[in-house]
Structure 1
């Protein structure tokens, strides 16, 4: 087993990849803030199995028996789900993007990514010290 295959490192990599995908969706929301009828999207936070450190699916999907039976919400894009917005947050043009909320999310994503990257780097440094390569 390679050092980078350790569960803690896999969890940190998954978290950083999730932050990257979420940042793309937030940027898309901001870019479409003036598009009539646009609804903002966001990603669900990943959860991990405590024993193995692997990402666990948080939702179950229904089996589609015929193409017309189930309409999938948010199928377009990077796996994002439409964000439920309150009626008073939707502009008369039908756009539901709140730039202040999107900017707050972007800041949170940046902080979360930096923490995960720092933990990843420190974990690798600790492993190198443990095996005698500093």
Structure 2
């Protein structure tokens, strides 16, 4: 098992994949801001919560309990192949999420609200990426020979 095949890194990869998919949907919403009868879409946040529950079943009850982390299970598809069990990106479900206003032509995109969502998604992605990088730095530090 590689150092990045831990629940910590798997959850962060899943989160970044979710945020990537959300950013694509928000870009489509902005691009269709003047399309008649267009209703903006967003990803269902429950999809990410379900992905976390798949990776870390004990997360439903909170991580502060005494229950240890479940080990990552390896699944081999062929002899000699190893799979870290990382969930596939794109597990989010797109749902219609109309903004606060609808124009006379039926378009429900409010650019200000979409840009707030884009900025929020970007900040969350940057935070997840920062945690991932710090986790890798900690793993490298822990694997170094003591001086």
- Measured against the shorter chain, the TM-score band is 0.7 to 0.9
TM-score of the pair, normalised by structure 2: 0.68
Gaps of 5+ in 1: 57-77
Cα separation, partners in 2 of 1:19 and 1:100, compared to 1, 3 Å: same
* Alignment root-mean-square deviation, CA: 2.5
TM superposition outliers: structure 1 runs of 4+ over 4 Å:
53-56
8 Å contact 1:8–1:53 — kept in the other structure?
no
8 Å contact 1:16–1:113 — kept in the other structure?
yes
For the pair 1:27 / 2:27, whether they are aligned, the reply is yes
Structure 1 equivalent of residue 137 of structure 2: 125
Q: How many angstroms apart in 2 are the aligned matches of 1:53 and 1:10?
A: 13
| 1:28-87 Cα deviation digits (max 9, x unpaired) | 00000000010000001211229727999xxxxxxxxxxxxxxxxxxxxx841111445x
Structure 1 equivalent of residue 102 of structure 2: 90
8 Å contact 1:10–1:53 — kept in the other structure?
no
TM-score of the pair, normalised by structure 1: 0.74
Structure 1 equivalent of residue 74 of structure 2: none
Q: How many angstroms apart in 2 are the aligned matches of 1:40 and 1:55?
A: 31
Q: How many angstroms apart in 1 are the aligned matches of 2:126 and 2:135?
A: 14
For the pair 1:113 / 2:125, whether they are aligned, the reply is yes
